[in-house]
Amino acid sequence: MALDTVDTENAVGLPLMRRMPTSGIVASPKLVVALDKPTATEARKLVAELGSLVEVYKVGLELLFGEGLDVAHELKSRNKLVFLDMKLLDIPNTVEKAVENIARLGFDFVTVHAVDRKTVAAAVRGRDRGDRRPNEKRLKLLGVTVLTSSTQQDLIEQGIQEASTELAVRRARLCFEAEFDGVIASGFDARAIRAATSKEFIIKVPGIRPKGFAKVAKEDQSRVMTPTTALREGADYLVIGRPIADAENPVIAARRIIEEIHSFKA
């Protein structure tokens, strides 16, 4: 079922949504809604509910293996920005060819693990060869610095002795020097990354938990932050999944977050 043919009479939560129209609030380009759903049907229902409230969507590995690429193309056909959270990591030739193909598909953001210089350099070569759009519209490369689920003990188990922020900054600098467009990083690392890069360097922050969000039973994020705090620390985009996708009413949840974003004063 394509995004523009969703049966809104049967979509979960839509009767309540019609009593709270989305037209009264302007979408924020800083909000990225993560479509962390196991099936395309569930993802399409969420997109239909949110309507014009959301301009940017993240399609991650869970959905990609459940017709997620079809959903991504449908989102592009509706002029949404699409962030493919692929977290690529492989030999340089494979990363290069994968990014080249993603660039040719016309998506807007993709993630690559920023573990070393040859990996990020390969991604840049692939993007530059595969994307002929003007620079402002071409595929933007985002380096994964340190997962927000990672604790210091996790890093030690990986053989890393650096503190998480020190590691994030080092990897962000690697991306910046390789001419990546930005990084994915914890809000706790954003201020230091901004100081080490530039004001134009994109910082997308996941692990966002609005005030009042009831912690889920299987919470796997260890470094979480509210929208306002993340913006204050220097986030350009807030990647938010469960607080919207799993809310009793996703429209109300999204509206509250957008209002908080709009009310933020730097």
Question: Catalytic residue numbers?
Answer: 87
Distance CA 178, CA 167 (A): 17
Distance CA 260, CA 20 (A): 18
Q: Is 89 exposed, middle or buried (0-12, 13-18, 19+ CB in 10 A)?
A: middle
Sequence-separated (6 or more) residues with CB below 8 Å from residue 52: 22, 23, 27
Q: Pinpoint the alpha helices (H) of 108-249.
A: 117-130, 152-157, 164-177, 187-196, 227-233, 242-245
The type of residue at 87 is: K
**Nearest one of 256, 260, 190, 262 to 223, comparing CA atoms:** 190
Helix axis angle for 164-177 and 187-196, nearest 10°, is: 40
Which residues are bridge partners to 205 per DSSP?
A: 238
Please state the φ and ψ torsions of residue 90, each to the nearest 5 degrees.
-165, -170
Contact (CB, 8 A) for 122 and 92: yes
